[in-house]
Structure 1
Amino acid sequence: MPEELDTASTLKQLEKRVEELEAVRDITRLRAEFHRSLNNREWDTLAGLFTDDAHLDYGEYGQAHGSREVRDYYGQLLEQIRDMRNATAILLKNFIHGHQVHLQGENTATGVCFFEEQIRFNQDSHAFSSIGQFSDKYVRIGDRWYFAKVELDHYWVVPDNDGWRWPW
Structure 2
Amino acid sequence: MTVIAWIVEGTWAACVDAARTHAPSDADIVLLHVSGSEAPGAARGAYAGLFGRARPDRDPGTVVEHLATEAGEHLLADAAERLGRPCTRTERRGRVEREVVAAAEGADLLILARDGDRTHLGPRSLGPASRFIVDHAPCPVLLVWPEAAPGTDTIPPPPPHPPHHR
Common fold: TM-score over 0.5: no
**Greater percentage in strand:** 1
TM-score, normalised on structure 2? 0.25
TM-score, normalised on structure 1? 0.25
Higher relative contact order (CA 8 A, sep 6+): 2
**Greater percentage in helix:** 2
